[in-house]
Structure formats: structure tokens, C-alpha cells
Structure 1
């Protein structure tokens, strides 16, 4: 077999391989590279199957026959620029079939030269990658949606290389902390510096514990550069090597500021008076129970002060409910200013307030002196004149100077004695005695006067206590009984 026959057989085999290939193979003349572009001189059967064009329809045409409305022009320019340098190129391109259907191709083009080194043709091998591209686009959209959802949810992702102390944040973390990437040193201490000073030690302890147990769960506040405070919920897992040495932590930060604000609002509605923002009766009774337990443990006294504004109804009726509401708020502020940090003032209802004093002296006489001093300060503060704004709907800036003193009744407790209902009744009865004497005064429960530390729990008959307090006829005692029952029903 001579060389010619050998070459013919080899060429025939090559053509059979090319035609049986599932990839599109296109051969073009080497020039012109500019428009109209190199002409097609050969396409294999895969080209016909894939594009829908016949061989006759594309021979003599340029590969631009496959271009369509969404073919990327920037990609086409890159291909042409590379061809001008007679260099091979690999690009992903969006082409179109004869029926107008778009499909993605991975395009590999390389030049072919003759024996003299002159480039004569371009050979392009094209593979359909539509499924892969659609999957990539779907993943890209999913990633974008994920990032949008993370940002909308106030979530950031972080990674800490424990060994080298390198902290890596995503865009969401920088947004959470209000820090630009350029201004963040990417070390552990930089994160610590952003944590609220009051939470810093605890957050650091949570991190150190997580390195041991493998899981990080913590809540803390961060202070942004503009001094805004955010509540953060943090979760992470610890990655350890085969020897159990912690190498890195990967986790999230979640902005829970709005959740905390809603919780605080719910708590305010449930436990605080809407007008004065003082603790309501529910919260007050809980604090009274706690104070009694503490009194039992520490063996010291506590006290209640029941307060009723003397002329509130007159002012409220004459100048309207808005003026009355203003007066209640102002009175609550005056009461709070007279108290210690550990004391509690509560709006009991209407124009009545009740004050809880905890942690008084273990000596009854000393405790009573402490109680009297605070009660007198409250009485003195409430007796000062008020400048009540008048809301008549016509004029603004009108005020009326008026007095609204208060009647105060007080009662001591020691541990669980007397019980909470009896204790409130005693203070309430003492307050009524103060009011019956003309108001603007403090009266101490006469039941308390009879009790010592040892016999504080022996007063069981509250009606008898009421009789001692009021020292009046049976008709007045019946009024006291009804008052006591009303208080009891209100508290139980």
C-alpha cells in the first residue's frame, strides 16, 4: 500500500470519527476574520442534528448564522480579538437553532496551519451545555434570592480561623455591624470591640465554652459606629481536627432587635400601666411575693404605702379627663423620685397608687422610721402645687395652678406575715383613716403597732384589725368589711 492509499484510508477513518462524534465540529476558512467572517467549509452530522440546518444551508456561510437576539456581543468581540492573534480560544456562547430555539455551547476554536506555517483554517468543536448553563443560572438566581433573604432577615455569615486568628465576614455581617470591609481588621479582638461593653465578657465566655463543647449559642448587643445598638443572636459550630483540636468556627449572626422590641412591648402591655408606665397590679403582686420571700430569708422588714390623691376627682371633673391623666402621670413621677432603686411604685387603679419598700431594717422601730421618712417625702412631694395644662380644644398653653395632696397609709411586713391580702388591707385602711382626718397626711397601720417580730403572724381576723384601725361603730365596721372583701376579690 503506497502513501496515497494510506492517507486516503486515514482520511476516511477520520471523517467517520468526526461524523459519529456527538460534539458539533465546524471547519472554516482562516479569513476574513472581520465581517462577514470566515466561511464554513465543513460541518459534521452532529451539527445538522443539533441546529436543524442542512449542510447545504450553511456551507459558504459564516458561523454568525447561529447568532440570535441574546447572543452576547462582548463574547463575540473577545472571540474575534483572539482569532486575530491566531490563538486558540474557549468560550461559552448562546447560539440559536434554525427554529429559533436558543441553546448554550461550549466553544473551542483552534487554528490549523499548512506545511509552510501559514494558517489556512479554523476548527471549532462545540458541545451542548444548555442543561449545565440552566442549572448554573438557576443556582445563581437561588444564590441571589438566598442573599436577599439573608439581608432581609438581618442574617450574616462568618468564619473564624482559630489557629491564625483570621475572621472572615460576608456582606451581611458588615451590614449588621455597620462597618465597611476596609475598616475591619478581621481579627477576633475587632469583633469583641464591637460587642456592647456590658455583654462583652459573657460573649467571650460563650465563645471559649463553644471551643470546648463544639457548639456556640449566644445573645448579645453590638454597638454600631453611629452608636445604634442591635440585639444579636449568634450560632456556630466548631470544626476540629482528628486530634480534637479546634481549628475554626463557622456560624451566623441574626439581628433580633425587632423581636426584642416586640417582646418588650408585649411585656409592657402585660405588666405595666398604659398611662403612667408604672408596674400594674399583676407585676406588683409578683414583686410583693418576691419581697416577702427575701424578707423571710434575710430576716428584715418590708413595707407597703397605699396612696390616694385627695382632690383628684374635683380636678378631673372640672378640667376634663386629659387634665386628670396629666395629673396622674405627674403624680407617678413625683412618687418615683422619692423611692430607692430597689423600691416599686404601682398604679393600683384610678387615682390610687401603692408602693413596695423592700430591704428595710431588721429592727422594727428602725424599719418604721425608714418607712415614715420615705412616706413623708412622698406626701410632701405630692402636696406641692401642680401646673396642670388645660385641654379645651381651642387654646394652647393654658395652665391652672392647683393643689392635689394625698392621703397615705402604711404597713410593715416581716417575712410572710401578714399575708399579701391582709397587708394591703391594713395599708388601705390606714390610708382611709388619713383621708378621714382631712387628708394630706400619713397614717401607720394600727394593726402593725400591736405586732412584734414574733407575733406578726398572729393577726388572723382582718375585720378585727379593721375595727382597731377605724375605732368606730358597727356601721363603719361593715363599710370596712365591704372594702376588705372588695380588695380580696380584686387580688384573688
Structure 2
């Protein structure tokens, strides 16, 4: 509450401000702040250590932080900072407050028990009659769950739900990014499970899914050992592997053979028994800084067609088409 004898002092650790003034509007305002859904902290305007000093927090702040108002009355907001608190954000915050400008931002803060959370906050100043900041009012919110849901949604938008591999969207984005690097020799493996339709038709889609998952797992072991590679499921039984390479024709061919052999290494278990599964692979690589995604994909698809018509379970390398070789 405001001390009528000393109007510059804000006595803060009462969560009800109804005695702050006889003005009913201000009394309602005080009660609204005290019971607000969002956390509210008020500090004095002393920015240099040991300030700023906390002069008020509402009940929502206590719930969010684990600190009680009584515990905070001798502390500063720095008590909530820790190793993952972004220092650049704090510097922007200070710069804004020094000149009396409002601030919005987010960073990692820490609860009383030491657990981190992502806090989003906006701060504005209460100024004196000369226009100088007298108090800072921070409205804060824990957005950890929101950020997690957002990250999950973004990940889901780029991940194949069945196999966990990158999906077509993620593949297209990586391909464009790699082709934008003019000095990079880029290899593409276009891969297709042999006679996959027969698996679905004979054993059902459950068996087909089991095959897709296991083939993905086997190919992933090879891709994971290849720096900078991206393995994606780009169609029903179609997979693509992007890989930066220096000696394109030799290293990309060896990689393709390793992937083919990993899939054919042993039978894949399904509910009704086990299946011997193979893949065919078409290989292409960029040789020109003018190569496009369409040129590279067309070259790899042409090689894949030769692998299929040549007996399946084999690797074919394309023999050049403008920007691919």
C-alpha cells in the first residue's frame, strides 16, 4: 500500500491494495493487479546493484516462481537469473529501462527450487512529476509449455510420422540450402523398396509399415555416420539421402552400396513371419554451380529406373545431365 505520510514509499508485500487510497477507482485497480492471472512484479528504478529492489509481487508471481512475497522483499529480480538466462536480452532490457522506454522479451529464468522455465515479460515505467522513472512494472508469464508445443508442431511439420525421418518438406528445404552453396559437391541417393506393393497386397498394410520402419532404421545407421547427411522419406516407399561429398563419384557410390547392403543384410520380422527386403538406388551428384533441384532429382531418378529395370537390389550412378554427373 502507499504510505500517505511518505508517498514515495510503496509498501508492497501486501497482496491487497484496497487501503492504498480512498479513491474507489484506484482501489479497484490495486485489487485487480493483486489478483491478476499474469504475474506482476514492481521494483524501484535503481538499476545499479544492489538494485533494483522488489517492492511488490502478486499471488500469480508467487505461484509461478515459488518465491513468497515475504522472501522477496530484500531481493532483486536477479535472484531468478541463472546459467541459461540470456545476457544479451538482459542488456537490451537495461538499455531500454535506462532511457525509460518499455521493454518486451523472453529468456530462461529459475524458480525458487532451481528449475528453469521460459519467462516472457513486458516492463513499463511509472514516472515521477519530472518524467524520470520511479518504479518499473513487469507483467510476466511462463511460456515454457507454449514453446514446447510450438517446437513439437514445427518438428512434426518436418518429420515423417511413421519412420521419424525427415519428410518431404524438410528434404526440399535442405536440398535448396545445399544447392545454394556453390562450392559444395552434393550427392543424392534416390532409393525405393523393391516390390513393396506386393508386401502390402499379400501381408497387409501393417506388414508394410513394419518394413518401412525397419528399412528406415537400417538406412539411418549408415546416414548417421555420414557428416552432413540428411535421410528423408519422400514418398510411400521412396527415400532420399542428401550428402555433401568431396570425391563425389567414388564416395557417393560407396555410400550407396553400404546403404543397399544394410537393408539386404537380413530378413525383416512381420507378424506372419519374416521377409527378405531389398532396395534399389539411383545416384547423382552436382558438378556445376548452376545445378538445380530439378536437374539433380531427374538425374537420380533416371539412375534409379536403371537399377529397377536392371534387376533391382542394385546401385546405379547417373552419367551426367547438365549440372549433374
TM-score scaled by structure 1? 0.51
1:296-323 superposed Cα distances (whole Å, 9 cap, x missing partner): 1xx1211211111124333333332123
**Aligned residue number for residue 444 of structure 1:** 317
State the distance in 2 between where 1:379 and 1:200 align.
46
CA contact under 8 A between 2:194 and 2:278: conserved in structure 1?
yes
CA contact under 8 A between 1:221 and 1:230: conserved in structure 2?
yes
Counterparts in 2 of 1:277 and 1:227: CA distance versus 1, 3 Å? farther
State the distance in 2 between where 1:348 and 1:189 align.
49
**Aligned residue number for residue 265 of structure 2:** 384
Mark the structure with the bigger radius of gyration: 1
Counterparts in 2 of 1:150 and 1:378: CA distance versus 1, 3 Å? same
Counterparts in 2 of 1:203 and 1:424: CA distance versus 1, 3 Å? same
State the distance in 1 between where 2:260 and 2:300 align.
15
Q: CA deviation at 1:357?
A: 1.8
Counterparts in 2 of 1:273 and 1:192: CA distance versus 1, 3 Å? same
SS at match of 2:234: strand
**Aligned residue number for residue 346 of structure 1:** 232
**Aligned residue number for residue 216 of structure 1:** 103
Which protein has greater RCO, CA pairs closer than 8 Å, 6+ apart? Answer: 2
1:134-163 superposed Cα distances (whole Å, 9 cap, x missing partner): x48x955x7666655525xxx443536423
State the distance in 1 between where 2:253 and 2:51 align.
60
Q: CA deviation at 1:293?
A: 0.9
**Aligned residue number for residue 307 of structure 1:** 191
SS at match of 2:160: coil
SS at match of 1:150: coil
Spell out the pairing of 1:126-145 with structure 2 (5 A cutoff): 135=24, 139=27
Q: CA deviation at 1:229?
A: 5.3
CA contact under 8 A between 1:216 and 1:237: conserved in structure 2?
yes
SS at match of 1:447: coil
Q: CA deviation at 1:251?
A: 1.7
Q: CA deviation at 1:226?
A: 7.1
CA contact under 8 A between 1:272 and 1:278: conserved in structure 2?
yes
Q: CA deviation at 1:427?
A: 0.8
CA contact under 8 A between 1:210 and 1:238: conserved in structure 2?
no
2:228 matches 1:332: no
Counterparts in 2 of 1:351 and 1:210: CA distance versus 1, 3 Å? same
Q: Report how many residues are paired.
A: 296
**Aligned residue number for residue 64 of structure 2:** 176
Structure ranking higher in helix proportion: 1
Counterparts in 2 of 1:344 and 1:174: CA distance versus 1, 3 Å? farther
- Cα RMSD after superposing both structures: 3.8
State the distance in 2 between where 1:227 and 1:320 align.
51
Counterparts in 2 of 1:302 and 1:222: CA distance versus 1, 3 Å? farther
CA contact under 8 A between 1:235 and 1:252: conserved in structure 2?
yes
State the distance in 1 between where 2:141 and 2:218 align.
41
2:73 matches 1:165: no
State the distance in 2 between where 1:148 and 1:380 align.
66
**Aligned residue number for residue 419 of structure 1:** 292
Counterparts in 2 of 1:435 and 1:228: CA distance versus 1, 3 Å? farther
State the distance in 1 between where 2:227 and 2:134 align.
47
Counterparts in 2 of 1:422 and 1:215: CA distance versus 1, 3 Å? same
**Equivalent of 2:76 in 183, 187, 193:** 187
State the distance in 1 between where 2:206 and 2:31 align.
53
Q: CA deviation at 1:269?
A: 5.1
CA contact under 8 A between 1:293 and 1:415: conserved in structure 2?
no
Counterparts in 2 of 1:158 and 1:240: CA distance versus 1, 3 Å? closer
State the distance in 1 between where 2:67 and 2:267 align.
49
Q: CA deviation at 1:422?
A: 1.9
